[in-house]
Amino acid sequence: MALTSSPERLLKQWFPHTTTPFIANAPMLGFTDCRLAGAVTRAGGLGFIGGGFNFEPGSTQLANLDARLTQARAELEINGSALGLPIGIGFVTFTPTGFEENAVAILEKHRVTAVWLAFPKSDADHQPLIEAIRKVQGKGHWDVKIFVQVGTVEAAKQALAQGVDVLVVQGVDAGGHQWAQGSARANNVAIMAAGGIVDARGCVAALGLVTYAGADGIVMGTRFIATSECPAPLSMKESILAATDGGVATIKTTKHDVFQSTDVFPRQYDGRAIIGISYNESNGGASDEEIIQRYNEAREKGDDQRRTVWAGTGIGIIKKIVSVEELIKGIQQEAKLTVARIAERI
């Protein structure tokens, strides 16, 4: 693909409250509420809330989203509905029916600053969703940037052709769902790197590496799970802290979804999670049916030891639960020092 340089500091221009390097949390469905997203935005990053995958009329996911956005506005003390809300919403798009009619109205009502689309059944399915957002944006009272997360060059090309503002380039080190067969720049498109980034070293590497001119910012998912503001259960945070080598402790497979009966993603996606009891039993010869039954029995007893802990390969270097502010400011400061040290050396 022919790549040309993006204008400098595009992300800063679009999201003026942010500080650099640009950091966003991934919109992890079930693990990102307005407390976490609000804290990320307040700390100078861009906070995302996972908005869901069901856009049918009466969707409880959309009703919850509406309530959360009202709460986010109150938490960030942004009064006056004409003002934009510096929070983004991420959607999983493999069942897009109803998005245009039911989701876009909520996004417009709250004037969210960004919309993130990921995991379509076919890349072409994003076209009508993007057009629906642009149509409302064209009325002039809502300024929104569209992020699309991609994991292959083909998906990146399609997203660029569909006119996205930000490409989130996801690598196979990422936690959670991703392209099973995973791995661009154009004018006025920003590039963000995602996958396995948990600290300043990863941030600086991504800024230098993702394309020949570097990424414009980073997205972290797993690292934000181990923050005090993240609504994930403590047991999940502790599993992340306990891992010492993410390359060995996690595995990328569709089995994580099979074992907990959440195998609803199209076949071009799988997911990375910590190797747990179910995976080990499967390797030892247990059938999927046996494992699903054991999973359901444990869940009924309130035992969450078999729950899938989605996590990227960076977990081995996550040692502490920290506040969102400590995390973002710490990475930003350390990244600047690291770049200065590199500059001295070369």
Ligand X SMILES: Cc1cc2nc3c(=O)[nH]c(=O)nc-3n(C[C@H](O)[C@H](O)[C@H](O)COP(=O)(O)O)c2cc1C
Residue 234 CB contacts under 8 Å (≥ 6 apart), including other chains: none
321 binds ligand X, rule: CB under 6 A? no
268 binds ligand X, rule: CB under 6 A? no
Over the range 192-223, which residues count as b (16 or more CB within 10 Å of their CB) and which as e?
bbbbbbbbbebbbbbbeebbeeebbbbbbbbb
Kindly identify the residues of this chain, within the stretch 230-249, that bind ligand X according to CB under 6 A: none
Over the window 286 to 315, marking each residue x when it contacts ligand X by CB under 6 A and - when it does not, the resulting string is ------------------------xxx-x-
195 binds ligand X, rule: CB under 6 A? yes
Kindly identify the residues of this chain, within the stretch 116-175, that bind ligand X according to CB under 6 A: 118, 149, 170, 173-175
Q: Which of 45, 88, 182, 221 binds ligand X (CB under 6 A)?
A: 221
Cβ 195 to ligand X shortest distance, Å: 4
CB 92 within 8 A of CB 53: yes
Cβ 8 to ligand X shortest distance, Å: 25
90 binds ligand X, rule: CB under 6 A? yes
Which residue number, 223 or 307, has a Cβ lying nearer to ligand X?
A: 223
Task: Name the residue with tokens 């089995």.
Answer: 255
Residue 139 CB contacts under 8 Å (≥ 6 apart), including other chains: none
Catalytic residue among 110, 126, 177, 256: 177
| DSSP H helices in 97-197 | 104-110, 126-137, 153-161
Closest CA to 56 of 126, 116, 103, 123: 103
Amino acid at 65: L
Cβ 147 to ligand X shortest distance, Å: 9
Q: How far apart are CA 314 and CA 245, in angstroms?
A: 8
* Whether 177 is catalytic: yes
Note the residues at the interface with ligand X (CB under 6 A).
26-29, 31, 50, 90, 92, 118, 149, 170, 173-177, 194-197, 219-223, 225, 310-312, 314
Q: What amino acid positions are annotated as catalytic residues? A: 177
